[in-house]
Amino acid sequence: MWLYALMVRLEQLKAEEGPRLRAIRLRALLDAPDAFGSTFEETVARPAESWSKQLLDLPTFVAVRDGLDVGVVRCARDDARIETAWLISMWVAPEVRRGGVGGALVDAIIKWARSSGVNRLLLDVADNNAPAIALYTRKGFAPTGVVSTLPLPREHIREHQRELRLS
């Protein structure tokens, strides 16, 4: 647990906190539906046990302010490259944006990655998400040249990959 700007506390979720992860993810999808690969409808239909399984497989950090979850980020190991992981599911609540919460969440993933033997972090970010791009640039993530689009029904949203070398 760490304290950051705006008196935000970071917590790593445990497997039994699946319902909490689900609530955060649904709030994120309602706030920013074009920022994620899955839709609200797909996500709300997932079985309850899938949320706890995700927490076993994916280190998940939540920012908490005044007892409320106000941000989340997760990390997924790359299936093909053991030294590579992906920063995924990043979201910060509108009421705390531009207050250091996003930076604290990214720092938590970087710290976890380093302690887990990861030497390369990747992420995808929408080309039109200027605040996120600025945050990732400040944290040292550079474009790789790889571009893609979100899955249907948001295939019109283009995103690009960024990379941070940790070693």
Threshold 0.85, pTM exceeds: yes
Q: What is the pLDDT of residue 6?
A: 58
pLDDT beneath 70: ranges in the chain: 1-6
From first CA to last CA, the distance across the chain in angstroms is 25
Q: Are 43 and 90 in contact (CB under 8 A)?
A: no
10: Cα separation from own chain's centroid: 13
Torsion of CA 115, 2, 29, 128, to 10 degrees: -70
Q: What is the pLDDT of residue 154?
A: 87
**Per DSSP, what are the bridge partners of residue 122?**
86, 163
Q: What is the pLDDT of residue 152?
A: 86
CA geometry: angle at 161 spanning 55 and 132, to 5°?
Answer: 75
Rounded Cα gap, residues 65 and 62, in angstroms: 10
Task: Provide the residue ranges of all domains of the chain, joining segments of one domain with +.
Answer: 2-120
Q: What is the pLDDT of residue 3?
A: 47
Q: Are 126 and 80 in contact (CB under 8 A)?
A: no
Fold of the domain built from segment(s) 2-120:
Aminopeptidase (3.40.630)
